[in-house]
A and B are shown apart, each in its own frame.
Chain A
Amino acid sequence: MARTTVGTGRPGALWAVPALGFFGLFALLPMAIVVYLSFTQWSGIGSPVFTGTDNWTKLAHDTQLMPSLRLTIGLTIVSWLLQTAICLPLGVWLAHHGRGRAVLAAVFFVPLLMSSAAIAILWGGLLDPNFGLASVVGPLIGVPDGNFIGDPDLVFWVVVAVVAWQFVPFHVLLYQGATRQVPGSLYEAARIDGAGRFRQFTAITVPQLKHTIITSSVLMLVGSMTYFEIILILTGGGPGTATRVLPLHMYIEGFQSFDMGYASVLAVLLLVLGTALSLFVTRATGFHRMDSQKEGL
């Protein structure tokens, strides 16, 4: 092993064994089992019964599938746009030093310390239409009865906002760290050339953050696509099916209807969609080439 290290200048394959072992056991194996379960009927009791493609044909008759898929795509795109629009400028701003910013940075990161369940319960309390903050704020912004999470039209935006509240701190942290990696000499040169702050942001900061933007976007896109815990606790997919996104639909089919076979079909669908999405993003952006942003420096 020492020879390979010396020979290629990088660690041998043996080094990856513990991680690969973990990955195989906790990721690849469950994935294979889910694919197998999608061809069976299983309620959780006893052994799965092989039923061929029955579950897959059921997919075509599931009236909830398309609404759930639309919701998931909507949530993914809106979350990505909103969170990026907030995180990029905020992260860049926080990257510069200053006491005020340090204090604010500490405050912004509070949601990062909380579990999803705690966040959902906290917001559930705030959004109680009769006794929560919603009853106070609602009348001021055109919702006189404070009915935010009970209104099938409003509830989607509430979910978008709460999910953003949870994940913005993490992505701000990514951008803050990345911005600090940008060499100061670039800004000095730009200043000498007469570039203003906005020009510096668009011509230096954003291009230098390219890989961070892609990383953050992949996390946001794939994360939003598979996201469900806050929705489960906050709305349970309701009212009606107004927030039953695809992962929650899968959860409900699996753990409330105890139809593990069909839930596995939905899981495989999500697996394919998520993998395709992340492949597409890394391909389309040239991320997979791993180009350096600092060539020539």
Chain B
Amino acid sequence: MRTPLFRGRRRALATVATAGALALALTACGSSGPSDTSADGGDRGSSTGDIWVITDASLNPVQEKSAETFATSGDVTFTVSNYANDPYKQKLQTAIGSPNQPDIFYNWGGGNLKQYVDAGQVADLTSAVDGDADFKSKLIPSVLDVGTIDGKIYGLPMQGVQPVMMYGNDDVLKKAGVDGMPATWDDLLADVKALKASGVTPIALAGSQSWTELMWLEYLLDRVGGSDKFAAIAAGDDGAWSDPAVIESLTMIQQLVDAGAFGTNYSAVGYDDQGTQALIAGGKAGLELMGSWEVSALNASFPDFAKSDSLVWGTFPTVDGGKGDPSAVVGNPSNFYSVTDGSKVKDGATQYLLDTLTSDEYVDGLLSIGQVPAITGLEEKVKTGDFAHFNAFTYQIVNDSSSFTQSWDQALDAATAQTMLTNLQKVFLGQMEPQEFADAMAK
């Protein structure tokens, strides 16, 4: 029965079959579908539009409510679709500019938004915003800057401000003889020593997710060299990565690692699985550097600790002799809404943003879920809810900040950010020296 034809065919088939499995593996990186929640009820607008956002169980209802409200007054009925974080970035990347693109999309501002702007896919909102003086005056300038590319406004802040700050477990600090949060770099080094001696991990760090390590470099460079240093890096200036301030900041990181500040197994600790939260809340670590979302995240996983007096917080320590302004903050100034240039309802979408983002309903909605909007004049209003004290602190440091540097992995283009995060992880592992890091990034 074994004819030559049969044999040849079988072999060819086996070859293409394995090759096919390969190709399938390559194309299997699809995205999950959206979960649609349409804004129904009320008088429907005459046309429809899509808003794409990130899945957030507490924020999504606020966004949907605002779309419903707009549908009763405006011309457009918007449908809010939410996607998980990582699939969203991929889906948006391929949808923008295609017939399936949304009308309004959630983004991170900075370099993330710039790539869409450079591709000519984002509507310029400058004249609309300038035409509404009342709206514009309500936005915090340092936050609006992040949605501004080459002097034109493309993104409007739609979420709470998220500065990075230091958190501590006061019980653990007290037990180690540490009084309050460290105010200076030298205080921090002394605290690390004392905490280590008391048998805990001085600083909880989720080293398997290197964006948590990046926060240290972001703040240190700002304190050591000032916010201009990163501005130069973001602008792509020659030699910006090799600046002495970058080297010094990385050397200070090495100093912390060598002092045992993060323990020995930090590179196996994750943030997404609450690895560091469990360390802080469980009294196994003294300090942590994290975004302002940490308090609501702690409240979700460890409510007893989050609501107790043991949870303390403070600004990042100052560095003696550093050129940076101690009031400067880093983190996520906000997330942003942008309108796609090819949208069929561009005017309606722009109107929705102007009507919604500073409205009482939307602002109160954000406050009710523990977010502090990037809106001026909220000093009294932010003092609500379980974390009134913390919200007021967050609002104050952002309002008082001389600059608000966006998280570097959002501000830089994706390829540079990816290389930087990998190399920084190597610095934390002791596999790469500061100068090697600078050389690798300068390429």
Question: Which A residues have a C-beta under 8 Å from some C-beta of B?
Answer: 9-10, 23, 26-28, 30-31, 34, 43-46, 124-125, 127-131, 134, 145-152, 218, 222, 226, 228, 235-241, 247, 250-252, 254-259, 267, 270-271, 274-275, 278-279, 282, 288-290
Query: Which 7 pairs across A and B sit closest by C-beta, in order of nearness?
Result: A150-B268, A150-B267, A27-B20, A147-B265, A44-B93, A257-B415, A129-B265
B415 touches A128 (CB 8 A): no
Q: Is the CB of A252 within 8 A of B7?
A: no
Of the 9-residue stretches B10-18, B142-150, B355-363, which lies at the interface with chain A?
B10-18
A45 contacts which of B115, B266, B278, B431 (Cβ < 8 Å)? B115
CB-nearest residue of chain B to A222: B18
Identify 4 new A-B residue pairs, CB closer than 8 A, beyond the known A128-B268, A251-B29, A289-B7: A130-B265, A258-B415, A271-B26, A275-B18
Pairwise interchain contact B268-A288, C-beta atoms closer than 8 A: no
A228 CB contacts on chain B under 8 angstroms: 25
Distance to closest chain A CB from B100 (angstroms): 13
Residues on the B chain within 8 Å of A124, using CB: 270, 273
Given contacts A130-B269, A259-B415, contact A149 B208 (CB under 8 A): yes
Q: Are B207 and A27 in contact (CB under 8 A)?
A: no
Chain A residues closer than 8 Å to B6, beta-carbon distance: 10
Docked pose: A228 CA to B25 CA in angstroms: 9
Q: Can you list 12 A-B pairs with a CB-CB distance of less than 8 A?
A: A28-B16, A31-B23, A44-B94, A45-B115, A124-B273, A222-B18, A247-B25, A256-B418, A271-B26, A274-B18, A275-B15, A288-B7
B25 touches A45 (CB 8 A): no
A278 adjacent to B14 (CB under 8 Å): yes
Cα–Cα distance between A173 and B175 once the two chains are bound (Å): 56
A238 touches B267 (CB 8 A): yes
Cα A83 to Cα B20 with chains together (Å): 23
B264 contacts chain A at the CB level, 8 A cutoff: yes
Tell me, rounded to whole Å, the shortest Cβ–Cβ distance linking A294 to chain B.
Answer: 14
Q: Once bound together, how far apart are the Cα atoms of A147 and B267, in whole Å?
A: 8
* In the complex, chain B residues whose CB is within 8 Å of the CB of A9: 1
Binds A, one of B45-53, B385-393, B422-430: B422-430
Within 8 A of A (CB), among B356-387: none
Contact residues, B133-158 vs A (CB, 8 A)? none
Query: A131, A152, A226, A256: which contacts B21 (Cβ < 8 A)?
Result: A226
Set B20, B265, B279: member contacting A145, Cβ < 8 A: B265
Given contact pairs A46-B97, A147-B265, A240-B422, A130 touches B278 in the complex (Cβ within 8 A): yes
Nearest Cβ distance between residue A166 and chain B, in whole angstroms?
A: 15
Contact A130 B284 (CB under 8 A): yes
Q: How far is the CA of A151 from the CA of B264 in the complex (A)?
A: 10
- Contact residue among A45, A127, A235, A258 (Cβ-Cβ distance under 8 Å from B121): A45
Q: How far is the CA of A255 from the CA of B94 in the complex (A)?
A: 11
Which residue of the partner chain A has the closest CB to B279? A130
Once bound together, how far apart are the Cα atoms of A128 and B15, in whole Å? 41
B 22-49 binary contact with A (CB < 8 Å = 1; else 0): 1111110100000000000000000000
Contacts of B116 in A (CB 8 A): 45
Contact of A270 with B208 at beta-carbon distance under 8 Å, contacts A128-B269, A130-B284, A241-B422 already known: no
Cβ < 8 Å to A, chain B residues 90-109: 90, 93-94, 96-97
Complex CA–CA separation, A236 to B15 (angstroms): 31
Output the nearest chain B residue to A44 by Cβ-Cβ distance: B93
Please determine whether B263 and A145 come into contact, CB atoms closer than 8 angstroms: yes
Complex contact A150–B266 (CB within 8 A): yes
**C-alpha spacing A68/B121, complex, angstroms:** 36
The answer to whether B278 and A148 touch across the interface, beta carbons within 8 angstroms, is: no
Using Cβ atoms and an 8 Å threshold, which residues of chain A touch B16? 23, 27-28
Complex CA gap A219/B317 in Å reads 55
Q: Decide: A258 and B93 in contact? CB cutoff 8 A.
A: yes
A148, B268: Cβ atoms under 8 Å?
Answer: yes
Q: Is the CB of B208 within 8 A of A152?
A: no
Decide: A240 near B429, CB < 8 A? Known: A150-B208, A257-B418: yes
Assess whether A23 is in contact with B20, with CB atoms less than 8 Å apart: yes
Which residues of chain A are within 8 angstroms of B15 by Cβ–Cβ distance? 275, 278-279
Smallest beta-carbon distance A275→chain B, Å: 5
Known: A45-B96, A239-B208, A274-B19. A267 touches B268 (CB 8 A): no
Cα distance A129–B275 when bound, in Å?
A: 9
Interface string of B115-130 (1 = CB under 8 A from A): 1100101000000000
Q: Is the CB of B18 within 8 A of A130?
A: no
| Contact in complex: A235, B415 (CB < 8 Å) | no
Which residues of B have CB within 8 Å of A271?
A: 19, 22-23, 26
Is B267 in contact with A290, judged by CB distance below 8 angstroms? no
**A-side contacts of B183, CB under 8 Å:** none
- Chain B contacts with A in 393-435, Cβ cutoff 8 A: 414-415, 418-419, 422, 425-426, 429, 431-432
A256 to B85, CA, bound (A): 13
Residue in B21, B121, B264 whose CB lies within 8 Å of A147: B264
Bound complex: CA of A256 vs CA of B26, how far in Å? 15
